[in-house]
Chain A
Amino acid sequence: MENTALPFTTDPATGPLAASLGDRIGPWMAAFEAAGVALAVLDGAKPELPLLGCTAAFTARGGPGALERLRQAGPAAAREAQGRAFRAADTPPLFLAPGPSEGLLLCTLPEGEGQEDRRLRAQLALSGSAAWEWEIATGRIAGDTQFAAWHGLPLAGAALDPSGFFACIHPQDRMRIRLGVGGLLRGAELFSKEYRLLGPDGTVRWVQARTRCWPDAQGQPARLIGTLTDITEQKRTEERLRIAQSAGGIGTFEHVPGFGTAAVSGTFCALLGLRPVANLPVPLVNSLVAEGDPSPFDRAPPAAPGPAETRAFRIRRADDGTPRWLMRRGEYLRDADTSELRFSGVLYDVTATQEAEARLRTLNEALESRVAERTRELDRVWRVSRDLFFVGDAEGRCVSANPAWQAALGLPAAGLPGTPLGALVQEEDRDMLEAALAQLRHGGADVAVELRMRHADGTSRAFSWACIPDEAGFVAAGRDVTRRNELEERLRQSQKMEAVGQLTGGLAHDFNNLLAGIGGSLELMQLRLAGGQVAALPRHVELAQGAVQRAAALTHRLLAFARRQTLDAQPTAVNVLVEGMLELVQRSIGPHIRIETRFEPALWLTLCDQNQLENALLNLCLNARDAMAGGGLLRITTANTALGVAAAQALDLPPADYVRLTVADTGSGMDAATLAKVFEPFFTTKPLGGGTGLGLSMVYGFARQSGGQVRIDSVPGEGTAVHLYLPRHGEAAPQAPPAAAAGLPPARPGRRGTLLLVDDEPSLRAVLREALDYAGYTVLEAEDGAGGLALLRSAGPVDLLLADVGLPGGMNGRQLADAARQEQPGLKVLLITGYADAATLGADRAEAQMEILAKPFRLAEFLRRVERLLP
């Protein structure tokens, strides 16, 4: 007979007891049934142990058979077996619970050993919560499998009595829990407490018990129902936290936004200078926070749990008012009790860090303001300076330029970026610029170079540049030295003029003599002619010619000295040149000094400007004269010298062949100090009015320009020797320099070419025409540019145009030459120049292939030049 209301079988014989039992243990049995536990409930009061109910599993596994064996064994055996297993042959062992309890005796069939048990235990270990009930009237406490496991019960539903329940609680917590339960029993509605539970295996776990009291119909406490949650880990963490807090000066706190108080730790209070309490009013904490700083508490919670903003703020400690910096960190968690979002976080002192940061900020600001100040200063300098500033990139292009470019060169600074510096520099100086930039690029720390800059109006101004390399290029500052240069030049000029004045004094004297000589000769010639005495004429002519030569030479010197002249380098035989100067030199230095010469017979040619060489020689001789006030010996020597590496280096020259010209005297000599400064312009040892001091610097300049060098040996009291080195000119020189040949080349009859001769000076023109005629040339004459051009057009092509540069009538010789070339391209041109003709000649005459011949010249020279052009 089955009672379908009950999920397990009952023995109807037990009747009312069964019914009431059903009430009592029904839910438990249902659970056991579902779990497949093999369980039987017996009436323990009766010796024959009648079955009150059992689960299907019990029946299935042969439980009834085992039970029968137990009954057969008798009550004594049954009593004996309680709390143990009853074993009988051919039936499974029967485990009897200790008891009976309220008349019930429970038996189970253990499922099997080891494996199943272990599995179950493992399952139990994983869950973290237990549920339990305490029936007050009966004092019966039982719970689910977890509860059973924690309290050492064999299975769910197995019961403890209160003493057993409390026995599982750690002795130190036991009292507290009993009091709590007591409170519940007296009308408290709930209790929520943490305590330590002693496990059956001796483990200690922290649990939180939440229990409510449910009243019966009369309102008396009837049942306590609760949960236990394992919080061991949490407790450990709390402990570690507590230790960390006090060790690390970290205070913890919790606050639900909107609540007026926050739960705090002792360290939290200590950080604020407050006595340790468990909670603090929010306004009290906020009153310690510095004005304007944020509070550690939020007014409103965030939308969801998660990390909260880390926040720093200043406080004044409550105890001594000292200011401190504190930092709060934490997160929002969902509160289990209220399901609100609760801030849980820490507070710690960061004063040291903040102060350091503040100091750093102040320092940075001070630094920034100093930098800003400096920048303003530099900015001012940039804007206001009259010097040019140029910031360039690695390729020399402008990155930025200051306003001075506008004032100095008429170039608006705004338009300059992107322009290469080279474009702003005069063409001729671009190479120097490139060299300077290259030097910078290759690690030059600073480079100075003087460059001529192009003004917007086309003029040129000289600037002295100082350049320094920069990360991305270079920075250059340029000072206008045009004026300075001009002044220097003018000074030099005036000095030169002074020198010239001096020189002319002496020369004028000589000139007079020469003119007298010429005049005298002519007079004599006249006389002889008048008397028909032709035989003596040649001699007079020669004398006169000699004087002319000398006079010409003198003029030449003078003019060369006074004018600025670009080098007109010609292959030169130095011996010949020196020889030609000897007479002048002798005249210049006076009779009390003897001249000796020693010439290298096979002297190499050198390529130099002969005028300047003559200048240089003269200068040196004049210096020698000045050094030998009381007379002495002047020796002029020439030599070939090949300079090896060492010797060349010593002279700062490339190793090569050189011609050496030496002027030595037996004069007062110079000491080392004087020697050191001797090439400086304006340096002079001569008393005031005694010389300009320009001579040696010009000699030096000439030597260097010609690719040579000057060296001076001097012994005070004994004399000085000045050595002038000039590079050997490659072309082989004829042994007998033709320049010194006296007289005209022999006449060569036969037509050799047609010349157009244009000169406004009739006598000169006549003389030249005579000479040309003599030499066999056909000559067409004109006295000005227009005439010459007309002749050219009408007479047809000529072989050579010979024109004086200084022609009247609006067309000078140069212009005539250009015009003539229009008529006859490729026309050869020989221009005759006076000293003032440099500009008229034009800077490009070399390119234009126009030869020049400077007045005065000897006819032989003249003819030679023509011959060279028209061989």
Chain B
Amino acid sequence: MQILLSELERDALTEIVNIGVSRAAASLRRLIGAEVLLSVPSAEVISRQAAAAMIADREQEPLVAVRQDFAGPFSGRALLILPAANGASLVRAVLGDSVDDAEALALQDETLTETGNLVLNNCLGTMANMLRESLTLSLPDLDHGAPAALFASGMRPEEEVAGVVLFLYINFSIRNHDIRGYIAMLMDMPSLAMLQQLIASFISSVMDDTAGSP
């Protein structure tokens, strides 16, 4: 990471991700009505497999993920990952008592997808705004499986084999609903290079903004 991004650039990236995720958390809070606790974003440049392993290490249960790919000056994949068991809790949290169990079950996948949509759109949208760029976001897809599969799903073989990725992830958990998961972003190296440029401009314009004299 240090090779590609200077410490300052890393700080800037963390800042941007943080802002995006905070916005997402805020909208999640509005949806569910419960406190959302977020960790500090973690950013590493590692292989896709290693990235998957980091999640797999910590999770023994089956996972479910809402996946949204993004494209623009940089592209990549964003995921909202939750243990599959949390799905039902999330639906209940969102809908409250307004639907019965049968309908809640029927709406489970929908709810997960919509929540993912909310979180990822907010996050990515905010980040794009920060960087003064626009990104095209795909429609969200719901996936079940192990992290490795989640990270690689739908990708073309040559993409899969690609070396390292920038792996960002944030832990979140929701008060009183025992709902928790990760927001993860994977970007390939060309995207990372582009991102670096954008970050650099961000930094310099921030310097200007904050330099002071009117």
Contact = CB atoms under 8 A, between A and B. Distances in A.
A161 B40 CA distance: 31
B214 A179 contact: no
A179 B177 CA distance: 34
Given A179-B12, A186-B129, A278 B214 contact: no
Contact of B203 (A179, A187, A280): A179
B212 A258 contact: no
Interface stretch (B16-24, B147-155, B190-198): B16-24
Contacts of A163: 211-213
A139 B58 CA distance: 47
Given A162-B210, A166-B210, A189-B22, A259 B129 contact: no
Interface residues of B, number: 45
A401 to B, nearest CB: 68
Contacts of A259: 37, 173-175, 180
Contacts of A187: 19, 126, 129-130
Contacts of B171: 261, 278-279, 281
Given A175-B8, A179-B12, A281 B180 contact: yes
A162 B19 contact: no
A154 B173 CA distance: 46
B59 interface: yes
Contacts of B210: 162, 166, 178, 181-182, 185
A340 B173 contact: no
A275 B53 CA distance: 12
B52 interface: no
Interface string A746-758: 0000000000000
Contacts of A181: 206, 209-210
Contacts of B61: 283
A175 B212 contact: no
Given A139-B212, A163-B212, A182-B205, A260 B173 contact: yes
A261 B212 contact: no
A190 B172 CA distance: 18
A258 B129 contact: no
A720 B35 CA distance: 118
Interface string A274-293: 01011111111001000000
B8 A263 contact: no
Interface string B45-75: 0000000000001111100000000000000
Interface in A133-156: 137-139
Nearest to B41: A278
Interface in B103-155: 126, 129-130
A175 B59 CA distance: 36
Nearest to B89: A260
A281 B58 contact: yes
A273 to B, nearest CB: 12
Interface string A179-213: 11111011111100000000000000000000000
A675 to B, nearest CB: 96
Contacts of A165: 212
Contact of A183 (B15, B60, B177): B15
A164 interface: yes
Nearest to A262: B173
B11 interface: yes
B207 interface: yes
A182 B206 contact: yes
B184 to A, nearest CB: 14
Contacts of A182: 15, 202-203, 205-207, 209-210
A158 to B, nearest CB: 16
A162 B174 contact: no
B26 interface: yes
Nearest to B208: A182
Given A176-B11, A284-B59, A260 B40 contact: no
A164 B178 CA distance: 46
Contacts of A573: none
Interface string A250-274: 0000001011110100000000000
B176 interface: yes
A161 B211 CA distance: 9
Given A187-B130, A188-B22, A287 B16 contact: no
Contacts of A256: 37, 175
A4 interface: no
Contacts of B23: 188-189
Interface string A663-693: 0000000000000000000000000000000
A822 interface: no
Contacts of A161: 212-214
A777 to B, nearest CB: 127
A794 interface: no
Interface in B1-37: 8, 11-12, 15-16, 18-19, 22-23, 26, 35, 37
Contact of A263 (B39, B42, B176, B214): B39
A566 interface: no
A338 interface: yes
A275 B39 contact: no
B179 interface: yes
B208 to A, nearest CB: 9
A175 B35 CA distance: 30
B214 A287 contact: no
A178 B19 contact: no
B35 A281 contact: no
A340 B19 CA distance: 23
B212 A164 contact: yes
A186 B205 CA distance: 10
Contact of B16 (A176, A183, A277): A183
A208 to B, nearest CB: 15
Could you say which of B23, B171, B179 has the most chain A C-beta atoms within 10 Å of its C-beta? Answer: B171
A260 B212 contact: no
Given A259-B173, A260-B179, A261-B39, 19 more contacts: A161-B214, A162-B210, A165-B212, A166-B210, A176-B15, A179-B203, A179-B206, A182-B207, A183-B206, A185-B209, A189-B26, A256-B37, A258-B175, A258-B177, A259-B175, A275-B57, A281-B58, A282-B180, A340-B175
Interface of A: 137-139, 161-166, 175-176, 178-183, 185-190, 256, 258-261, 263, 275, 277-284, 287, 338, 340
Sort A-B residue pairs by CB-CB distance and give the 9 closest, nearest first: A260-B180, A182-B206, A162-B212, A260-B173, A188-B19, A163-B212, A258-B176, A259-B173, A161-B212
9 contacts: A139-B212, A163-B213, A178-B206, A178-B207, A183-B15, A185-B210, A187-B126, A256-B37, A261-B37
